[in-house]
Amino acid sequence: MDVLVVGGGVVGLSAAYSLSDRGADVTLVEKGSLGNGSTARAAGGIRSQFSTRVNVELSLASKEVWNSFEDRFGVDIGLRKNGYLFLARSDETAEQFRENVEMQRELGAESELLTPAEATEHCPGLDPDPFVAATYNPDDGIADPNLAVQGYAEAARERGVDVRTKTAVIDLHREDDRVVAADVRGVDDAAETERHEVDYVVNAAGAWAASIGEMAGVDLPIAPRRRQIAVVDPTPAVPESVPLTIDLETGSYFRPERDGVALVGGHFDEDDDPDQNPDAYDEGMDVEWAARAVEHAADYAEYFGLDTRIQRGWAGLYAVTPDHHPILEETVPGLVTVAGFSGHGFQHAPASGRIVADLAFDGGTDLVDISPLAGDRFERGETLTERSVA
C-alpha cells in the first residue's frame, strides 16, 4: 500500500508511523520543517476532561501512548502529571461539570467533582469565592510537543518512511471519484514537480487542511484561528505542582512552567480573526492581549499581582471546525482527513494516527467510535458541543 501523508506536525507524523508500522510504503511531505506549524506553538496539554465522549475516548487511547512514550520511542517528552483544574462560576456550568465527570469516570477517567474550597488544595493561590464548583483529574498534565515530534519522526524513519521537508503538495488527482495521485514539488523555485501514484492521501495539514481538500474537490469546514500564549514572571511564584487551571466561563487559563515562570492564556474575541491567512500571520504576542490575559488570571489567582512581569510570548494557529471537533474519516475514496482538532491535535495525535492506519488497512477502526467526527455532520445538523475549549 502506497500512502502520502500531507503535514509534518505531530498528527501527520503519528499517522505516518502507524501506517508504516502496519506495512505501508509511506511518504510524508511537509512544506516547512517538521513540527514547525501548530505543533511547535502548542501548550502541550494532555487531558481527559472533555464534555463529549469521543474527545474523552481519544484522550484515553492517546494517554496509553503518552504514558509509555519513552519506552516505545526512546525519547523523554517531559511528561508532567500536574493535573487539570476546571472552575465553574455558574450553577449551569456546575451542573455540566457533574454530567461531564459522570461520563468521564464511566469511560475510565480519574476525574472528580470538587467544591471551590477543595480546589484550593490543588491550587493554593486560588480565590474560591467567584466559583461554585470545580473538576480535577490527577492523571492530566503536560508534555513537550517538540520532543514528541522528534520521537515520532525518528521512529517513522526507522520504519522506512520517506520524510520530505520543504516539499509541498500542489495538486491531487481523482479517477472514478477516487484519489489516485498527488503532485508534489520542493518549495525551491527550481524544483521539479513529481507525480506520486497512491492508494491513499492522508490530509494532516492542520490549519492548511482546507486547501488540501480543495485539491480533491472537497469542501472542508476547517479554518485557521490565531491563538496566543504569554510567558510571565508571577508574583508570588506559581508552585510547579499547581495544575493547569482554567476559568471556563471567561476562557482564562494558566499553568506553571519551570524556573519560576508561568504560561497565561485565554480565548478572547479580538484573537479570533476568521480570515486569518495561515501563510502570513503574526507569530508574535500582542502586548495588550497579554496584559488582559494577566488581568483575567489575577481576578481569581493571587499569583498575578501588580509586580507580575510579562517576559515574552508567541502566537500559533488552531485548525478550527464549527463545533471544535476534528474531522476524522475517509472523506472520499483514497483521501483520509485527520484535521480540525481545534487546539487538541497534539494530545490526540497518538490515537488519531492509529485510527488513520485502521481506516486505510481495515476500512474502519475499533479503537474509538469516530462516527460523530464525520465531515457531513455539519450538513446533517448533528454537530457536537465541547465546553472545555482551552
- pLDDT exceeds 60 at position 99: yes
Helix (H, G, I), strand (E, B) or coil at 202: strand
Residue 198: its pLDDT value, please?
Answer: 97
Q: Which three cell numbers stand for residue 169?
A: 503538495
Over the chain, what is the mean pLDDT? 93
Of 139, 86, 91, which Cα lies nearest the Cα of 113?
Answer: 86
> Within 13 Å, how many C-alpha atoms sit on residue 329's CB side?
18
In this structure, whether the domain defined by 2-47+146-222+323-380 belongs to CATH 3.50.50.60 is answered with yes
pLDDT band at 188 (very low <50, low <70, confident <90, very high): confident
Residue 267: its pLDDT value, please?
Answer: 77
Residue 149: its pLDDT value, please?
Answer: 96
- pLDDT exceeds 90 at position 71: yes
Query: What's the CA gap between 163 and 165, in Å, rounded?
Result: 7
Q: Indicate the pairing of strand 223-233 with strand 45-46.
A: unpaired
Query: What's the CA gap between 290 and 230, in Å, rounded?
Result: 6
Residue 52: its pLDDT value, please?
Answer: 96
pLDDT band at 275 (very low <50, low <70, confident <90, very high): low
Residue 388: its pLDDT value, please?
Answer: 60
Query: What's the CA gap between 21 and 360, in Å, rounded?
Result: 13
Of 319, 246, 271, 230, which Cα lies nearest the Cα of 86?
Answer: 246
Query: What's the CA gap between 176 and 249, in Å, rounded?
Result: 49
Mean pLDDT across the stretch 102-111? 98
Overall fold of domain 81-140+223-320: D-Amino Acid Oxidase; Chain A, domain 2 (3.30.9)
User: What letter would DSSP give residue 40?
Assistant: G
Residue 276: its pLDDT value, please?
Answer: 67
- pLDDT exceeds 60 at position 194: yes
Torsion of CA 214, 26, 357, 215, to 10 degrees: 0
CB count, 10 Å around CB of 203? Answer: 33
Residue 95: its pLDDT value, please?
Answer: 97
Mean pLDDT across the stretch 6-11? 97
- pLDDT exceeds 80 at position 268: no
pLDDT band at 382 (very low <50, low <70, confident <90, very high): confident
Torsion of CA 119, 245, 66, 41, to 10 degrees: 180
Mean pLDDT across the stretch 187-211? 92
Residue 369: its pLDDT value, please?
Answer: 97
CB count, 10 Å around CB of 7? Answer: 30
| Phi (first) and psi of residue 335, to 5 degrees | -125, 110
Residue 183: its pLDDT value, please?
Answer: 96
Within the chain, where are the H helices? 10-21, 53-66, 69-73, 91-107, 116-119, 145-158, 209-215, 287-298, 345-362, 377-380
377 burial level (CB within 10 Å; 0-12, 13-18, 19+): buried
Q: Which three cell numbers stand for residue 245?
A: 487551571
Mean pLDDT across the stretch 346-365? 98
- pLDDT exceeds 80 at position 390: no
Mean pLDDT across the stretch 85-92? 97
Mean pLDDT across the stretch 376-388? 84
Of 17-21, 63-67, 258-262, 364-368, the range with the lowest mean pLDDT is: 258-262
- pLDDT exceeds 80 at position 272: no
The full set of domain ranges for the chain reads 2-47+146-222+323-380, 81-140+223-320
Helix (H) or strand (E) holding 175: strand 167-175
Residue 281: its pLDDT value, please?
Answer: 78
Q: Where are the beta strands (DSSP E) in 249-376?
A: 252-256, 262-266, 309-320, 327-332, 335-339
Mean pLDDT across the stretch 363-379? 96
Residue 163: its pLDDT value, please?
Answer: 97
Tell me how many degrees the CA angle 222-171-378 measures, rounded to the nearest 5: 25
pLDDT band at 66 (very low <50, low <70, confident <90, very high): very high
